[in-house]
Structure 1
Amino acid sequence: MHKHIGFGLNLIALGLFIPGILLPMFSLNMEMSAQVSSSVLTSSIVDKELSILATVEELWQDQRFIVGALIFIFSVCIPLIKTSLVSFAYFKRHTLLEEKIMNFVASIGKWSMADVFIVAIFLAILSTNHADTADNQAISMFGFKLDILISSETLSAAGVGFYYFTGYCLLSLLGTHISQLSLHKQP
C-alpha cells in the first residue's frame, strides 16, 4: 500500500513540477523617483517576472554559467531523474533492481534538497519587498536653491510558480519517503 501511495504522490509532484519551473517564481519591480520642488519624475528601473527556466536563461545570457548550470541541475535535472527513477522502480516490484534504484534515489535525496534551497533563495529575494531608500540633496546655482529628493522603492512578490514548486518539493520528499518505507515492509 505504501508503494502505491508513494508512487501517486510522486506523480502529483511531477504535475506540480512542470508549472513550478515554467510559471513565474517571483516578480521584482524597482522604481526610482526624483522630486524637484513640486515636480516628480518617476522611472521604472526593473520590472521582471522570472520563472526558474527564465532565470537560468537570463543567467546563461549574462555569462554566469556556473550559477545558471547549478540552478538548472539542482532544480530541473535532479528532480526529473529522481522522479523518473522512483516511477521506474514502482514497476519493478519486489526485485533487487527496485531496491538498488530506491537506494540510489535515497543517496541523491541529499542533493535533491538543493531544490528546497532554491526556494529559500527566492524567499530571500522576496524579503526585499518594500525596501525604500531616499536621499535629499540641495543644489545652489546663481543664487537659486533647489531641493532634490531622490528615492527608490523595490517591490517583490511570490509568483504562482513559487507555490507550485514548493508543493512539488514537499510532495516529492513525502512520496519518495513513503516509497522507501515500502521496501522495508516487503517480505
Structure 2
Amino acid sequence: MNLLALGLFVPGIWLPMFALKSEMGAWFGQGRLTADLVDKELSILQTVEELWRDDRLLVAALIFFFSVAIPVIKTLLVSLAWYWHKLGKGRKLADWIAAIGKWSMADVFVVAIFLAVLSTDHAETTATQAINLFGLRIDFEISSATLSTLGPGFYYFVGYCILSLAASQLLHFSLRRQPAADQM
C-alpha cells in the first residue's frame, strides 16, 4: 500500500493540480474586445518554483516542505518500519511515525489551500460605463471572469494522502498487536 501511495505521489506533484483562467472583456455596441489576464496550469512543484522566482521564499519553502519533503520522508520511514517489522522490530519507529503523522496532514492542508483558490470558479464581475466623446455618448460593459478547474495532479495527490495515511495506520495497528518483547 505504501508503494502504491508513492506511485500516486509522483504524478501528484508533477501533474497540474489546477488550471486557472481569467479573462477580461469589453462590449460596446456590436464590438467586443477580450484579453486573457491569466491562463495557467500549475503542479505543486511548478507552484513552488513560481513562488521561489517571485521571492515568496517562505511560502515556497513551506509548500515544498509539507507537500514534498515530509511525504517522502514519511513514506521512506513507513517502508523502513515495515522492513524492520518483518525482522521482529519496528515498534518504536512506527510509534514515532504515528506521532509525526499529524504533521504530514499538512499536505492535506496544501490541497485545502488549492481548493480555496479554486473557489473563485466562475467568479464574474460586470460594470457598465459610459464615455461622452464630442457630444456622442458611448455605452460599454467591462467584465471579468475567472474559471478554475481541478487538474489530474489533484486527484493523484489526494489518492496519495489517503493511501499514505492508511498505510501508516495499518502498520501502526499491526505492530501494536504484536507482543512488546518482539520489538526494538
State whether TM-score is above 0.5. Answer: yes
Contact 2:16–2:152, Cα closer than 8 Å, also in 1 = yes
Counterpart of 1:118 in structure 2 is 110
Candidates 74, 82, 101, aligned match of 2:93:
101
Specify the alignment match of 2:122 in structure 1: 130
Partner of 2:64: 72
In structure 2, runs of 5+ residues without a counterpart are 180-184
Does the 8 A contact of 2:23 with 2:145 survive in 1? yes
Report the residue type matching 2:160 in the other structure.
Y
The root-mean-square deviation of aligned C-alpha atoms, in Å, is: 0.8
Residue aligning to 1:153: 145
1:63 aligns with 2:73: no
Once the 2 structures are TM-superposed, how far is the Cα of residue 111 of structure 1 from its aligned partner?
A: 0.6
Q: CA deviation at 1:106?
A: 1.1
Residue 52 of structure 1 and its aligned partner are, at CA, apart by 0.1
Gaps of 5+ in 1: 1-8
Aligned residues: 177
List structure 1 segments (4+ residues) > 2 angstroms apart after TM superposition. none
Q: What letter corresponds to residue 146 of structure 1 in structure 2?
A: I
Letter in 1 for 2:155: Y
Structure 2: distance between partners of 1:131 and 1:57: 27
Q: Which amino acid aligns with 2:94?
A: M
1:100 shift after superposition: 2.1
- Find the counterpart in structure 1 of residue 174 from structure 2: 182
> Which deviates more from structure 2 when the two are superposed, residues 118-127 or residues 58-67?
118-127
Q: Does 1:82 align with 2:74?
A: yes
* Cα distance per residue 1:50-85 (max 9 Å; x no partner): 000000000000000000000000000000000000
Q: Secondary structure at the match of 1:106?
A: helix
CA distance in 2: counterparts of 1:109 and 1:72, whole angstroms: 17
Distance across 2 between alignment mates of 1:99 and 1:12: 23
- Distance, in Å, in 2 between the alignment partners of 1:24 and 1:59 is 15
CA distance, structure 1, for counterparts of residue 64 and residue 164 of structure 2: 18
Listed one character per residue, the Cα deviations across residues 19-62 of structure 1 (whole Å, up to 9, x for unaligned) are 00000000000000011221000111100000000000000000
Residue identity over aligned pairs, in percent, reads 59
